[in-house]
Amino acid sequence: MKAMVLNQIYSLQEKQNPLELVDLPDPTPKEKEILVRVLTCGVCHTELDEIEGRTPPSRFPLVLGHQIVGRVEKAGSRAMKFRSGDRVGIGWIGSACGKCRFCLEGNENLCPEFKATGRDINGGYAQYTTVQEEFAYAIPGIFSNLEAAPLLCAGAIGYRSLRLTGMEGGKNLGLIGFGASAHLVIQLAKHKYPNSKIFVFARTERERNFAKELGAFWAGDIGDDSPEKLEYAIDTTPAWKPIVEGMKNLEKGGRLVINAIRKEEIDKESLLKLDYAQHLWQEKEIKSVANVARNDVGEFLQLAAKIPLRPEVQEFRLEEANQALLELKQKKIRGAKVLRID
C-alpha cells in the first residue's frame, strides 16, 4: 500500500516535506480488529505537534492521521461489529485498557494505557489501516467521505469542549481561533443554544468574515476587547497569548476551556503577562481537554447528522500531505483540510 511516513522529528521551518511517500505491506487485522480501506483522512494540528516533537510518536517510522473515513475490507476472527463494505470512522483514541477507573467511568481518554491513532498506532495517511472494532464508528449516510473526516476529531473534540464549559442557554460564548474545530463548534452551539450570542476572536479578516457567515454575533482580533463579557470561552489555538487575552474577556465565574493537546513554546513569555487580579480573580476558571472518549465521538456523529453540521473542507491528494501540513503551519486555514486517498 501507499503511505506517507514520518521517520523522525523535524522542524517544519527547516524541513518543509517531513513525510515520505513509501510502499508498505498491507496490514493484517488481529482477532478483534478490522482492516479498513482508507477513503479520506483529515489533517489536524496535532500532526504538527507530532512532527515537531511536542507530542512525539512512540515509534518510527509511523503513519500519521487520526480523522479516518473508510470501508471495512476484512474482519478479524473475533470481530463481529461491522461487515465488509461498511463505512466507518476512526478517531484519535485508538485503544485503552478498559479496566481502570477512567475507562469504567467512560473517560478512556484519561486511561494510563491510552494509545493514539497516528501517534502510537499507524493512522490514516495511507491506503489501509487497522483498528480494534470497538474504537471504530458507523458514519451517518448524510455526510460525504470528505465531510465526515473532520467530524472525527475537530468536531468531536469541539463537542467535548463545549460540554466541558458547562454552558447554559442565553449566555455568551467566545471562540478563540477559528479553524477546523471552531467552525464546527459555532454550528453546534447555535443549534443547542439558539438564544446565546457567539463572539469569535481570529487573526485575519478572512477568518472573521467566515465566522460571521456562520452566524457569529461579533468577530474581532485575538487581542480585542469583546463588546460584552463572556460566561464561557473555548480556545482552539496553538499559542499561549490567546488564553491570556481571552481571560480578560471572561465574566466573573466564567470558564475558559483549552481545546488543544499541546501549546507551542514560541510565545511562552505571554504567560508571564497572566495577571492574577485581571485574568483569574473573581472565580474564573481554566480547564484543559484531553481530546475525546468513545462516547464523545459516537454521540457527536449522531448529533451532527441531526443538525446537520456542514464542514467546509479543502481537499488534497495523499501525496500532497506535506503541502496541507505546511499550509496549516502557515495558518492558511478555512474550515478543515482533508486528504483524499485513492
Backbone angles phi, psi at 134, to 5 degrees: -75, -5
Alpha-carbon span 263 to 297, nearest angstrom: 23
Q: Which residues partner with 72 through β-bridges?
A: 36
Burial class (CB in 10 A: 0-12, 13-18, 19+), 81: middle
Strands, E assignment, the chain: 2-6, 19-23, 33-43, 62-63, 68-75, 87-90, 93-95, 115-116, 128-132, 136-138, 173-176, 198-201, 218-220, 230-235, 250-258, 285-288, 313-317, 336-340
Mean pLDDT by 10 residues, the chain (342 residues): 97 92 97 98 96 95 98 97 97 97 96 97 98 98 98 97 97 97 97 98 95 98 96 94 93 96 75 76 93 95 96 97 95 93 88
Q: In terms of CATH, what superfamily is 156-288?
A: NAD(P)-binding Rossmann-like Domain (3.40.50.720)
CATH class of the domain at 2-139+312-340 = alpha beta
Q: Return the pLDDT at 294.
A: 96
Q: Return the pLDDT at 142.
A: 98
- Residue 90 contacts residue 136 (beta carbons within 8 Å): yes
Q: Return the pLDDT at 133.
A: 98
Residues 6+ apart with CB under 8 A from 35: 26, 27, 28, 29, 72, 73, 74, 75, 128, 129, 130
> Residue 267, by phi and psi: left (phi above 0), alpha (psi -120 to 50) or beta?
alpha
Angle at 46 between CA 41 and CA 50, to 5 degrees: 105
Q: DSSP readout, 281-311?
A: TTT-EEEE-----HHHHHHHHHHHHHTT---
Grid cell at residue 131:
483498528
Angle at 310 between CA 198 and CA 320, to 5 degrees: 110
Q: Where are the domains of the chain?
A: 2-139+312-340, 156-288
